[in-house]
Structure 1
């Protein structure tokens, strides 16, 4: 028999579970049913009832999770308050820096005027000195 005919025979004998998956073809090896073949769904059985210990652990973990959420929200409120306070402090410092910068800019302008005035005086003094020297030399 060729491979294609074997594959087609296997396809004929494939059984599907009610869930739509291909059922597993298994053999029992117990004393009462040795060698008996049967089909079984490939999905694992779901035990709908949890043992009491599992329920206790789940409830304990849920309580701890709820406590952590309360603590997280409390810390979040604290951090938000600190951020608002810090933002207010930074705004005050920024305004102070702008004021100080304006004062410093005014001082720089005054110094630049004094330097310009001093340069003019030095230039006039040098010019008068040169004129004086030239007159003396004549």
Structure 2
């Protein structure tokens, strides 16, 4: 795409690039887009490439963090289900212990009644 040099900003809208720099307005001279106006950052392309690489690296880091977050969510779900299972298991054991205590108290009561009946 061939382009003219930076057009005057006085008649056009002032735009800023995502990097914060002012953009230049260009007019296309290609056969496919003759006369089409477009904006481009005034920074040299090498700085844009560095910025683009940084953005890509940040995107990759974000994706890695999202994957780690999803894995941690799965681990949390597994731990919560394990905790639920253990709580139910504990409740069942407590119920069994209570039944055994009742049985022991009943057995002791029967034994005491039996001993008192024998020695009377």
Q: For structure 2, which runs of at least 5 residues remain unmatched after alignment?
A: 1-42
Residue in structure 1 matched with residue 107 of structure 2 by the alignment: 125
Matches of 2:76 and 2:56 in 1, distance apart? 30
* Aligned counterpart, 2:91: 109
Deviation at 1:66, TM superposition (A): 2.8
Secondary structure of the structure 1 residue equivalent to 2:64: helix
- Taking only aligned residues, the RMSD between alpha carbons, in angstroms, comes to 1.7
1:49 corresponds in structure 2 to none
Which has the higher Rg, Structure 1 or Structure 2? Answer: 1
1:130 Cα deviation (Å)? 0.7
Normalised TM-score (structure 1): 0.51
Q: TM-score, normalised by structure 2?
A: 0.58
Q: Which has the higher contact order (CA 8 A, sep 6+)?
A: 2
**Equivalent of residue 48 in structure 2, options 42, 46, 66:** 66
In structure 1, runs of 5+ residues without a counterpart are 1-60
Aligned structure 1 segments of 4 or more residues deviating by more than 3 angstroms: 61-65
Bigger helix fraction: 1
Q: How does 1:1-138 map to 2 (within 5 A)?
A: 62=44, 65-138=47-120
